[in-house]
Structure 1
Amino acid sequence: MNYEFTIIIPVYNEEDNLERVEKELAHYLTLSTKKTKVLFVNDGSKDKSQELIETICERNEAFHYVQFAQNRGLSAAIKAGFDHSDTELTGYIDADLQTAPEDFNLLLEHIGEHALVTGVRADRKDSFVKNMSSKIANGIRRAFTKDGMDDTGCPLKVIRTDYAKRIPMFKGLHRFLPAMILLQNGKILQVPVRHFPRIAGQAKFGLWNRLLGPLMDCFAYLWMKRKYINYEVAKKG
Structure 2
Amino acid sequence: MINKISFVIPVYNEEENLKRLYNEITEVANSLKYDYEILFVDDASTDNSLSIMKELADLDDRVKYISFEKNCGQSAALYAGFQNARGDVIITMDADLQNDPRDIPKMLEYYGEYDVVNGWRYNRQDTWAKKIGSKIGNFVRNWLTNETIKDTGCALKILRADMVRRIKMYRGLHRFIPTLMRLEGAKVIEVKVNHRPRAFGQSKYTNLKRAKEGLYDLIAVRWMIKRHLKIKVKEKNV
**TM-score clears 0.5:** yes
* Counterpart secondary structure, 2:158: strand
Instruction: State TM-score, norm by structure 2.
Output: 0.93
Query: Taking structure 1 as reference, are residues 232 and 203 closer, same or farther at Cα in structure 2, changes over 3 Å only?
Result: farther
Matches within 5 A, 1:158-177: 158-177=158-177
Partner of 1:195: 195
Say whether residues 1:212 and 2:212 are aligned partners.
yes
Deviation at 1:155, TM superposition (A): 1.3
CA contact (8 A) 2:42 2:67 kept: yes
Report deviation, 1:27: 1.4
1:171 maps to amino acid: R
In the aligned structure 2, how far is the partner of 1:125 from the partner of 1:62?
31
> 1:173-184 maps to which residues of 2 (within 5 A)?
173-184=173-184
| Residues 33 and 119 (structure 1), Cα distance of their counterparts in 2 relative to 1, 3 Å cut | farther
Q: CA deviation digits over 1:191-225, x for unaligned, max 9?
A: 00000000001101111233232122110111222
SS at match of 2:112: helix
Return 5+ residue gaps in structure 1 as ranges.
Answer: none
User: Counterpart in 2 of 1:71?
Assistant: 71
Distance 1:33 1:110, change over 3 A: farther
Q: Which amino acid in 2 is paired with 1:65?
A: Y
SS at match of 1:199: coil
How far off its partner does 1:47 sit? 1.1
Give the match for residue 7 of structure 1: 7
3-state SS of paired residue (2:124): coil
The answer to whether structure 1 residue 87 and structure 2 residue 83 are counterparts is no
- Runs ≥4 in structure 1, deviation > 4 angstroms? 229-237
Q: Please give the root-mean-square deviation of Cα atoms over the aligned residues, in Å.
A: 1.9
- Map Cα deviations across residues 52-78 of structure 1 (whole Å, 9 max, x no partner): 100011111211111111110000001
Q: Which residue of 1 aligns with 2:39?
A: 39
8 A Cα contact 2:145 2:225, kept in partner: no
1:124 counterpart residue number: 124
Q: 1:157: how far off?
A: 0.1
Separation in 2, partners of 1:38, 1:191: 22
TM-superposed CA distance for 1:115, in Å, is: 1.3
- Counterpart CA distance in 2 for 1:229 and 1:83 is 24
Q: 8 Å contact 1:115–1:186 — kept in the other structure? A: yes
**Is contact 1:183–1:230 with CA below 8 Å preserved after alignment?**
no
Counterpart in the other structure of 1:135:
135
Seq. identity, %: 36
Higher mean displacement: 58-67 or 126-135:
58-67
Q: Does 2:104 align with 1:104? A: yes
Residue number in structure 1 paired with 2:156:
156
Deviates more, 1:207-216 or 1:40-49: 207-216
Q: How many residues align?
A: 236
Query: 1-side partners of 2:189 and 2:110: how far apart?
Result: 8
The alignment's TM-score, normalised by the length of structure 1, stands at 0.93
CA gap 1:90/1:232 in 2 versus in 1, 3 angstroms: farther
CA contact (8 A) 1:147 1:182 kept: no
